[in-house]
Amino acid sequence: MRADGTVAMLAPMPLELRAVVRAGRLRGGDEVAGRRAHHGAIGGVAVVALACGMGTAGSERAAADVVARGDISHVVVVGVAGAVGAHHPLGEAFHPEVVADARTGSRYRPHALGPDRPTPRSGTLLTGDDFITDPDHLDALAREGVTALDMETAAVAAICEGAGVPWSVARAISDVAGDQAVVAAMEQGLARPDGTPDVGAAARYLARSPWRVGSLVRLARQAQAAARAAAREAVRAVESST
């Protein structure tokens, strides 16, 4: 990481961005390609954080816009992920050895944020837009070494690798892939592409299935706890890089 560079933190959803802003004590500032950016310094390192939205297309655009600034020395993807198998408990921050792109088959290895303090890594984080729920498919992925799923990291990695900008990932587990409550929430479109909740869709869903309110509350709490854990891990990594 260049001593004079800025670390960019990309968070898919607003709740993940809020966790980063609070953990890093960042402040609101200018806009980056139409996205509100938050700025500050962590351990003497300049940091900018912004939301990239859910999914590969939005995260690719956000990563491209960020690295085009020219002053970015490292990009960190920060947020929640779904566990595959029993490798990671809920709320745990994890460090994948490999990030794989389900669309292209490309595989990327995260870069150490600080050259003198490499982080032990294991398992594969699989990125894709398809929401995987089939138990047999999940079992097959687990046998291949996949321990978690997300929808953004490999897309950001591809942009950063193409631009010659180091990148890393700070993710924490918010749910287990195949959880029926998560499946129902995704199928009902309870979140918009930018990660904000669709209140109208949620109201209609609960009107039809009022017994699901407990599951949604549980998922929200798990996501908030995981987002905080991921944000703390990202901040710790920046602090230890100096």
**Per residue, what are the HEC states of the chain?**
CCCCCEEEEEECCHHHHHHHHHHHCCEEEEEECCEEEEEEEECCEEEEEEECCCCHHHHHHHHHHHHCCCCEEEEEEEEEEEECCCCCCCCCEECCCEEEECCCCCEECCCCCCCCCCCCCCCEEEECCCCCCCHHHHHHHHHCCEEEEECCHHHHHHHHHHHCCCEEEEEEEEEECCCHHHHHHHHCCCECCCCCECHHHHHHHHHHCHHHHHHHHHHHHHHHHHHHHHHHHHHHHHHHCC
The Cα 86–Cα 7 span in angstroms is 32
- For the four alpha carbons of 215, 216, 219 and 221, in that order, the dihedral sign comes to negative
The answer on pLDDT for 161 being more than 90 is: yes
Contacts within 8 Å (CB) and 24+ apart, 183-189: 183/131, 183/133, 184/209, 184/212, 184/215, 185/216, 185/219, 186/131, 187/131
Residue 156 is predicted with a pLDDT of: 98
Question: Looking at residues 97-118, what average pLDDT do you find?
Answer: 86
Task: Reply yes or no on whether the pLDDT at 37 is more than 60.
Answer: yes
Q: What is the pLDDT of residue 99?
A: 97
> What are the structure tokens assigned to 191, written together?
């979140």
pLDDT digits (tens, 9 = 90+) for 46-67: 999 999 988 999 999 999 999 9
Q: Choose the weakest-confidence range: 6-20, 27-41, 47-61.
A: 27-41
CB distance 54 to 194 below 8 Å: yes
pLDDT at 180 over 70: no
For all residues of the chain together, what is the average pLDDT?
86
pLDDT over threshold 60, residue 225:
yes
- As a whole number of angstroms, the longest Cα–Cα distance in the chain is 55
**Whether the Cβ atoms of residue 59 and residue 193 lie closer than 8 Å to each other:** no
Handedness of CA 46, 50, 56, 58 (dihedral sign): negative
